[in-house]
Amino acid sequence: MSYQVFARQYRPQTFEQMVGQKALVQTLQNAIRTGRIAQAYLFSGMRGVGKTTAARVLAKALNCAQGPTPTPCNVCEFCLAIQEDRLVDVLEIDGASNTGIDNIRDLRDLVQYKAMRSRYRVIIIDEVHQISKSAFNALLKTLEEPPEKTVFIFATTEFQKVPATIVSRCQHFEFKKVSQKDLIHHLSDIAHREKLTVTPYGFGLIARASEGSIRDSLSLLDQAVAFCGPTIGDADLKEILGAINRDLLFEFSSAVLEEAPGRIFPLVEKVIESGYDLRTFLKELILHFRDLLLVRTMARPQDVLAVGEDEVALLRSEANKAGEEDLLRCLQALQNGEASFKFSSHPQIAFETILIKLCHYKKIVEVKDALTELDALAKEGRAVVETRMRPSGTGPSPTAPKPYGFRRPPAMGESGPSTPGPVPAKPPAVPVSVEERKPVFRTIPVKTAGPAGNPLPPTPTPPARDRETDGVLQQPNVKLFMDKFKARVVSVEPIKPPRTDEEE
């Protein structure tokens, strides 16, 4: 007999052998046990999770010599005929190659007759979403009121493309992605049967690469056996799968958590020289930071992560370099940067920019911490007024600031100073009260008429700040607040003292 790949050799033949679909299997078994057989079923889900397998097992359960039974025997004539695809009453059709209305008309004429040998006539249509709209419409009446003992089973990977008129006539079952734990357990069971030697970390690599598909995981295991033989090493698996080197991921996370942006550029060059796609590497880096956050948060990360104790120890050592908030902030920044990174014309520069930002994230000060610092300064009595405004009655100060902080260019016909004069020394600050403080203004000549003698439009005069606002802006705690938040003071309003009982 010719060789069969693991995906076909270990295909489930009963409901109990199906992996990761417990609720769905229990529903089908209870329906068979109680005789509540629907006229049509619709199985949807991603590739390789057991849709066609469940359809074949359901056909055997309905036509088994001991049935209908939720546990087909797989030894009777009907079970073996269905398993070998030679029972004429169980018809399996490929929807991708039978898309036209003529194919559905032939099928509709065929189901008008009762099953010739078995108990039920079962029509299985795989990838049903590829059938044309007219073919679906031709099937509606037959699907709603099929002949007695006739069951339709549809399977699709793109449920959204199936018309609502078809879905409403079927019992819909959605197949889930298989978890990594279930995949690892299934792969280890098959490896034990085939006498293969694979490490737990190797099983985790295969399970992660298959992305929840049982068929993909078995195909990868088959490929690894063909490459390595019965003893499969982790390094060989990484080479076959094209997996990202974990040491390289730890180097990136160390550079980010240790705030070392200078190490980012050589590491990115190392990624490119290793032949990794930057988008794929960013995806793995996001998963790596997710693992770090999980290890930093959970007491027993082994219950969630499909890795060994040594890997958990490495992740815990790396995660202890930062707090949970820092790891969460890095993870969110990586996810936000992934969207813009996909459409960047310079992926390397975009990737480097994201990582450099992460290196500086620990320097971010939270609002509550800044407000606490401001309150502490106020309580310590550091709110000292420093002003360059002159007291009333004194001469103009040569260093008095302009009211609005900008220099007007020379008007038409004027000429600016050819050479800057000597800068006068800064006079000592004179502490004055708010009542004595007056702003200093400089008179600037302005032309009132244009070249043709026409009057110029009036220039809007900016509003003058009041004296109390100017004084408050010089306080150290206010300066600190404005520097941290890049704020601009619009107005200053005094805080009213609380009313006493006598005033009330």
Which of the listed residues 226, 241, 256 is the one where a domain comes to its end? 241
Do residues 14 and 91 both lie within one domain?
yes
> Does residue 426 fall inside a structural domain?
no
State the pLDDT at residue 432.
46
Domain of 187: which CATH number? 1.10.8.60
Q: Say yes or no: 83 and 133 in one domain.
A: yes
Kindly state the tokens that stand for 109.
Answer: 């004429």
Which tokens in the block code for residue 323? 């707090």
Domain of residue 82 covers 6-174
Tokens of 431: 């502490």
Pair 310, 289 in one domain: yes
Q: How confident is the model at residue 345 (pLDDT cuts 50, 70, 90)?
A: confident
Per-residue pLDDT band for 390 (boundaries 50, 70, 90) equals very low
Q: What percentage of the chain reaches a pLDDT higher than 70?
A: 74
Q: Categorize the per-residue pLDDT at 441 as very low, low, confident or very high, splitting at 50, 70 and 90.
A: very low
Q: Is the pLDDT assigned to residue 59 strictly greater than 70?
A: yes
Q: Are residues 163 and 217 in the same domain?
A: no
Residue 131 to residue 42: CA distance in whole angstroms: 14
Domain identity same for 297 and 318: yes
Looking at the fold, whether 92 and 132 belong to one and the same domain comes out as yes
pLDDT of the residue at 174: 93
For residue 77, CA distances in Å to 72, 91, 184 come to 11, 17, 35
pLDDT of amino acid 299: 81
Identify whether 454 is part of a domain. Answer: no
**Boundary residue ending a domain (241, 256, 290):** 241
Backbone angles phi, psi at 353, to 5 degrees: -65, -45
* 165 and 48 in a common domain: yes
What is the pLDDT of the chain when averaged over all its residues? 79
227 within some domain: yes
What is the average pLDDT across 422-448? 49
Supply φ then ψ for residue 245, to 5 degrees.
-65, 125
* CA angle centred on 52, ends 51 and 56, rounded to 5°: 120
In a domain, 445, yes or no: no
Q: Is residue 502 part of a domain?
A: no
- Omega of the bond leading into 68 within 30 degrees of 0 (cis): yes
Position 500 in a domain:
no
pLDDT band, very low/low/confident/very high, at 482 (cuts 50, 70, 90): confident
Res. 402 pLDDT band, cuts 50 70 90: very low
Note whether residue 431 is domain-resident: no
DSSP-assigned beta bridge partners for residue 174: 44
The domain total for the chain is: 4
CB neighbours of residue 213 within 10 Å:
21
Select the more confidently predicted residue: 29 or 421. Answer: 29
This prediction has a pTM of: 0.63
Does 384 lie in the same domain as 332?
Answer: no
Same domain, 159 and 18: yes
Task: Say whether both 153 and 15 belong to one domain.
Answer: yes
Would you place residue 465 in the very low, low, confident or very high pLDDT band (cuts 50, 70, 90)? low
Strand partners, 173: 43
Q: Is residue 376 part of a domain?
A: yes
CB 62 within 8 A of CB 120: yes
pLDDT above 50 for 389: no
pLDDT digits (tens, 9 = 90+) for 159-191: 999 999 999 999 999 999 998 888 999 999 999
State the pLDDT at residue 11: 92
Is-contact 234 201, C-beta < 8 A? Answer: yes
Q: Is there a contact between 78 and 63 (Cβ–Cβ < 8 Å)?
A: yes
Residue type at 243 in one-letter notation: A
Same domain, 222 and 257: no
Using alpha carbons, select from 124, 123, 128, 125 the residue that is nearest to residue 158: 128
| CA 13 to chain CA mean position, Å | 37
Q: What is the structure's pLDDT at 463?
A: 55
* pLDDT over 80 at 253, yes or no: yes
Q: How large is the angle between the packed helices 347-359 and 246-257, nearest 10 degrees?
A: 50
Check whether residue 71 and residue 143 sit in a common domain.
yes
**What's the mean pLDDT in 200-216?**
88
pLDDT in the model for residue 298: 85
Residue 291: CB partners within 8 Å, gap ≥ 6?
301, 305, 315
State the CATH number of the domain containing residue 355: 1.20.272.10
